[in-house]
Amino acid sequence: MTRTLVLGGARSGKSGYADRLAIESGKEVVYIATATAGDAEMATRIAHHRAGRPSEWTTVEEPLALGNQLLRWSSPDRLILVDCLTLWLSNLLFSSGEQYPDVGEITLPALFHEQQDMLASALTKCASDVVLVSNEVGMGIMPFGAISRCFVDEQGRLNQAMAALCDRAVFVAAGLPLVLKGPPC
């Protein structure tokens, strides 16, 4: 079993690269989608991703309990593709419905750390090959507003934790993969 973290910016080609890894594996693919359609623009993005996926892939929509789904679909003859950890992190951050202040310290919901711990544990126990897709959001200027800075910090921590647990980490920019950790893909 291999665990691969695919990182990149918005429209970097990271999802397409992850899809190619899944196809090239020759295994049954379970695609775990974390996005939720909160508005028409996001619904269009989701529809675009769905249309681009092979019809034989099993799609599971899971906005929060990602670790549970990894274990549920775990099988040596499968590859599980998770797209994406960034939207999952947003879902967790706003799961309580809390309105965060523009300034001051942010108190994260209990579900936030609980689900991240469950994901890390499930990733180590999963019998499938796993490909995780995540945005690298910390390469620009420091964002304005406490919640935005909190998100960038937590995304960076999550990416580091997942990279430590994965066999490979690949950064994609302009559709070109750069292997950061592990063997070439």
181 is in an annotated binding site: no
15 is in an annotated binding site: yes
Catalytic residue among 27, 49, 72, 181: 49
What count of other Cβ atoms lies within 10 Å of the Cβ of residue 80? 28
Q: Is 49 a catalytic residue?
A: yes
33 is in an annotated binding site: yes
61 is in an annotated binding site: yes
14 is in an annotated binding site: yes
The CA distance from 146 to 69, in Å, is: 31
72 is in an annotated binding site: no
Sign of the Cα torsion 132, 185, 172, 145 reads: positive
What count of other Cβ atoms lies within 10 Å of the Cβ of residue 182? 16
Q: What residues contact 38, with CB distance under 8 A and at least 6 apart?
A: none
Contact by Cβ (8 Å): 177, 131: no
53 is in an annotated binding site: yes
**Which residues are annotated as part of the binding site for GTP?**
8-15, 33-35, 50-53, 61, 83
**Catalytic positions, written as ranges:** 49
